[in-house]
C-alpha cells in the first residue's frame, strides 16, 4: 500500500487522498489506537451515538466501531479501537496512508439528545470513546453534564481531557487506585445519587457487566438510564439477526433498533451469554491464523 507520509497527512493532501485512507494514527493507551479516516459521506451525516462497520481487506471480518468525532470540512471520521482479537489487530497493522477496504455508516439510531437537565455520563475503558460524542452533544444542548470515567488503571484511561472539557463536573475511577477514586464508576455514581445530585438521566457505556451494575444502581431511584449495547454484529442492517437482544421482553436488533436502549429493560444475562458464543473460535483465530491481507505467510516463517 502506498505510504502518503510518515506523519499526519496535511489538509491539502487529504483533499486528494483516496476514500478510507488513514490520515492520522496514534496510540492513546496500551492496545488502544485512535485513527482518522477519510469518509466524507459518513462525516456529513454522522450523529452522536452512531457507529460504522468496516472491513480491513477482502477476507476480513466486519468490525463495528463507534463514530467518535467527524469533521465535515475535511471529510474525516475518528475511530478508537482496542485490539482485543484477530480483526482489531489486523486493523492495528494499518498505518497512515493505508486504506481500509470499506466502511459502512453511519449506522444505528442517533442518541436522543435533548434538554434532560442534569445528566450523568458514566463510562468505562474503551466505552469512553462511545460516551464522548454523547457527552459533548448533551453539553452543547445545555444539559449539566457530570462525567464519571473509569478504567482498570491510569494507563488505560482514554479521552480524559476531552471528556473533562465537555463536563461540568468530572470524576475519575481506577480499579487499582492509580488515579482518582479507587474502585468502580458505579461506586461514584451511587455516592453522587446519595448526595442528592438529582440526576434527570444517566448514560452508561462500557463493558456489559458495568452497564448492568449501573442499571441496578439507578433502578431503585427510578432514574432514566440509557445504555449503548455492543452485541456481536455482522451486517449492521437488521437482516442477519446476530445482534439480537431482549429489551422489555421483546426481541430487538441492536444495529437498527439501537444501539441505545432503556437500561432497566435490557436482559443483560442474555447479552453477556451471547457475547461468549464464539470465544473458542476467537481464541483459535488469534492463535492459529497467520494470515495477513488474505495471503498465508506461514511458509515465509
Ligand atoms: C455498535 C458497536 C460499537 C462498538 N464500538 C467500539 C469502539 O468504538 N471501539 C472498540 O474498541 N470496540 C468497539 N466495539 C467492539 C468491537 O466491534 C469488537 O471489539 C471487535 O469486533 C472485536 O473483533 P476481533 O476480531 O478483534 O476480536 P474477537 O477475538 O473476534 O472477539 C473479541 C470480543 O469482541 C466482541 N466481538 C467480536 N466480534 C464482534 C462483532 N462483529 N461485533 C461486536 N463485537 C464483537 C466479542 O465480545 C468477543 O468476545 C463496538 C461494538 C459494537 C456492536
Ligand atoms: S447485525 Fe445483523 S441484524 Fe444486526
DSSP 9-41: PPHHHHHHSPTTBEEEEEEEETTEEEEEEE-HH
At residue 285, the pLDDT reads 63
In a domain, 287, yes or no: no
In a domain, 299, yes or no: no
Over residues 153-177, mean pLDDT: 96
Length of the chain: 301
In a domain, 283, yes or no: no
Same-domain status, 158 and 177: yes
Over residues 164-183, mean pLDDT: 96
The total of structural domains in the chain comes to 2
At residue 180, the pLDDT reads 95
pLDDT higher than 60, residue 260: yes
pLDDT higher than 60, residue 262: yes
Same-domain status, 103 and 153: no
pLDDT higher than 90, residue 199: yes
DSSP secondary structure code for residue 139 in this structure: H
pLDDT band at 278 (very low <50, low <70, confident <90, very high): low
Pocket probe for ligand 1: among 131, 232, 240, the residue whose CB has the most ligand atoms within 8 Å is 232
Looking at ligand 1, which residue's alpha carbon is closest to its atom 27?
85
Same-domain status, 133 and 259: yes
Same-domain status, 168 and 260: yes
Is any atom of ligand 2 closer than 6 Å to the C-beta of 236? yes
CATH code of 197's domain? 3.40.50.80
Is any atom of ligand 2 closer than 6 Å to the C-beta of 104? no
In a domain, 16, yes or no: yes
Look at strands 32-38 and 22-29 and give their pairing. Answer: antiparallel
Q: Of 50, 82, 107, at which residue does a domain stop? A: 107
Same-domain status, 23 and 92: yes
Same-domain status, 82 and 123: no
- 79 neighbors 6 (Cβ within 8 angstroms): no
pLDDT higher than 80, residue 14: no
Identify any residues that bridge with 150 across adjacent strands, giving them in sequence order.
124, 173
At residue 294, the pLDDT reads 44
Over residues 171-183, mean pLDDT: 96
At residue 111, the pLDDT reads 97
State which residues form the domain around 235.
118-275
In a domain, 4, yes or no: no
Same-domain status, 145 and 270: yes
Looking at ligand 1, which residue's alpha carbon is closest to its atom 24?
85
In a domain, 130, yes or no: yes
CATH code of 58's domain? 2.40.30.10
Same-domain status, 96 and 53: yes
In the chain, DSSP assigns E strands to: 22-29, 32-38, 51-55, 62-66, 69-71, 76-82, 102-107, 118-124, 144-151, 169-174, 181-182, 201-205, 224-228, 244-247, 250-253, 260-262, 291-292, 295-296
C-alpha cell at 255: 444495529
pLDDT band at 18 (very low <50, low <70, confident <90, very high): confident
In a domain, 171, yes or no: yes
At residue 95, the pLDDT reads 96
Question: Among 16-20, 89-93, 146-150, where is mean pLDDT lowest?
Answer: 16-20
Is any atom of ligand 1 closer than 6 Å to the C-beta of 84? yes
Over residues 227-234, mean pLDDT: 95
Q: Of 107, 129, 155, at which residue does a domain stop? A: 107
Q: Of 87, 107, 127, at which residue does a domain stop? A: 107
Q: Which atom of ligand 2 is nearest to the CA of 240?
A: 2
pTM equals: 0.90
Same-domain status, 259 and 198: yes
Same-domain status, 211 and 238: yes
At residue 116, the pLDDT reads 97
Same-domain status, 132 and 253: yes
pLDDT higher than 60, residue 4: no
Report the percent of the chain where pLDDT is more than 90: 82
The model's pLDDT over 23-67, given as tens digits with 9 standing for 90+, comes to: 999 999 999 999 999 999 999 999 999 999 999 998 889 999 999
Distance CA 192, CA 148 (A): 10
Peptide bond into 259 cis (omega under 30): yes
**Ramachandran angles phi, psi of 25, nearest 5°:** -150, 130
Same-domain status, 228 and 252: yes
In a domain, 224, yes or no: yes
Q: Which residue is listed with cell 492463535?
A: 287
At residue 1, the pLDDT reads 36
pLDDT higher than 70, residue 282: no
Q: If you average pLDDT over every residue of the chain, what do you get?
A: 89
pLDDT higher than 60, residue 289: no
233 CA → ligand 2 middle, Å: 5
Report in angstroms the alpha-carbon separations of 274 from 104, 183, 201, 220, 278: 24, 27, 28, 27, 8
Report the percent of the chain where pLDDT is more than 70: 86
Amino acid at each position: 500500500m502506498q505510504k502518503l507520509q510518515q506523519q499526519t497527512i496535511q489538509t491539502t493532501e487529504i483533499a486528494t487522498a483516496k476514500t478510507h485512507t488513514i490520515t492520522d494514527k496514534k496510540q492513546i493507551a496500551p492496545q488502544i489506537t485512535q485513527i482518522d479516516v477519510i469518509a466524507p459521506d459518513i462525516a456529513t451525516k454522522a450523529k452522536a451515538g452512531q457507529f460504522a462497520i468496516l472491513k480491513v481487506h477482502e477476507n476480513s471480518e466486519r468490525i463495528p466501531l463507534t463514530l467518535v468525532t467527524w469533521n465535515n470540512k475535511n471529510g474525516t471520521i475518528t475511530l478508537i479501537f482496542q485490539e482485543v482479537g484477530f480483526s482489531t489487530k489486523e486493523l492495528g497493522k494499518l498505518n497512515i496512508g493505508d486504506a481500509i477496504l470499506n466502511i459502512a455508516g453511519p449506522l444505528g439510531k442517533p442518541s436522543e439528545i435533548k434538554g434532560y437537565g442534569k445528566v450523568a455520563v458514566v463510562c468505562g475503558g474503551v466505552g469512553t470513546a462511545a460516551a464522548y460524542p454523547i457527552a459533548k452533544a448533551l453539553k452543547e444542548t445545555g444539559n449539566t453534564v457530570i462525567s464519571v470515567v473509569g478504567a482498570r488503571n491510569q494507563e488505560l484511561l482514554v479521552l480524559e481531557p476531552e471528556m473533562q472539557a465537555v463536563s461540568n463536573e468530572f470524576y475519575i475511577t481506577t480499579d487499582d487506585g492509580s488515579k482518582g477514586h479507587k474502585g468502580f464508576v458505579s461506586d461514584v455514581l451511587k455516592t453522587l445519587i446519595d448526595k442528592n445530585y438529582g440526576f434527570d438521566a444517566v448514560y452508561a457505556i462500557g463493558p456489559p457487566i458495568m452497564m448492568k451494575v449501573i442499571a441496578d444502581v439507578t433502578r431503585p431511584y427510578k432514574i432514566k438510564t440509557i445504555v449503548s449495547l455492543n452485541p456481536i454484529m455482522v451486517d449492521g442492517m437488521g437482516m442477519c439477526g446476530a445482534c439480537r437482544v431482549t429489551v422489555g421482553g421483546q426481541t430487538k436488533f441492536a444495529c437498527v433498533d439501537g444501539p441505545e436502549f432503556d437500561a432497566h429493560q435490557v436482559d443483560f444475562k442474555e447479552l453477556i451469554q451471547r457475547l461468549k458464543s464464539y470465544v473458542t473460535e476467537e481464541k483459535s483465530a488469534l492463535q492459529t491464523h497467520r494470515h495477513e491481507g488474505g495471503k498465508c505467510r506461514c511458509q515465509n516463517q
